[in-house]
Chains A and B, each alone.
Chain A
């Protein structure tokens, strides 16, 4: 069991570019969650998805951010027209149906 796989581990983007973060959940897990962690801070919920459905996006900024979890393939968090304030660690977690969240190692986004 490979665990929750996130890639890339590190991503550098210039201001105005797009960032695509990928998350492959654990085998058998159908629930995916994205969190953002700023340096020296806690984890802030962004979005909760099940296959082909967004269940809760209450933590996601209304503009420039989107997420999907297609029937086939990984979950994608997309940030369009990145700004310096988007620099953070983005973590994905998965769970089988309830509880038992497992986190990936994260993608560290740096906007220059």
Chain B
């Protein structure tokens, strides 16, 4: 019930391409769905987040798509750049309660 499943584990995309990472959750009480970016040796940094009352949120090259009925959400990175190479984590929470993280996706953007 508390799990968030993330796929793929690793992803290689050519520069300029679209990177897509998917997550699925079980707990319908979750009401906050953030994505975090983590570089080696650093802490996770909030990239973009969505609440379940909207189906899509876009910030620059980053877009979250949210499908409430399917209990799935995804991160799209448009025009992917080598600097986007990092590990990405989806997460979910209910209010101020703990964030439940997906397993992470290691993204590599080839120049």
Q: A residues engaging B (CB < 8 A)?
A: 4, 6, 31, 33, 35, 41-45, 48, 56, 59, 91, 93, 95, 97-106
**Count of chain A to chain B residue pairs whose CB atoms are closer than 8 Å in the complex:** 57
Binds A, one of B12-20, B59-67, B70-78, B91-99: B91-99
A90 CA to B95 CA in the complex, in Å? 23
Q: Select A33's contact among B95, B98, B104, beta carbons within 8 Å.
A: B98
Report chain A residues within 8 Å CB of B101: 35, 42-45
Tell me if B49 counts as interface (CB < 8 A to partner A). Answer: yes
25 A-B pairs (CB sep. < 8 Å): A31-B96, A35-B99, A41-B103, A41-B104, A42-B6, A42-B89, A42-B101, A42-B103, A42-B104, A43-B44, A44-B101, A45-B99, A48-B96, A59-B98, A98-B32, A98-B95, A98-B96, A99-B32, A99-B93, A99-B95, A100-B46, A101-B99, A103-B36, A104-B43, A105-B43
Task: Pick the 3 closest A-B CB pairs, nearest first.
Answer: A98-B96, A103-B43, A45-B98
* Binary A-proximity of B22-49 (CB < 8 A = 1, otherwise 0): 0000000000101010000011111001
Q: Is the CB of B46 within 8 A of A56?
A: no
A45 CA to B42 CA in the complex, in Å? 17
Known A-B contacts A41-B103, A42-B103, A99-B32; A48 and B98 likewise in contact (beta carbons under 8 Å): yes
Q: Is the CB of A45 within 8 A of B44?
A: no
Nearest-CB distance from A97 to chain B (Å)?
A: 6
How many residues of B sit at the interface, in one of the four size bands? 20 to 34
Nearest-CB distance from B12 to chain A (Å)?
A: 17
Report chain A residues within 8 Å CB of B100: 45
Q: Is the CB of A101 within 8 A of B46?
A: yes
A48 CA to B49 CA in the complex, in Å? 21
Q: Is the CB of B96 within 8 A of A99?
A: yes
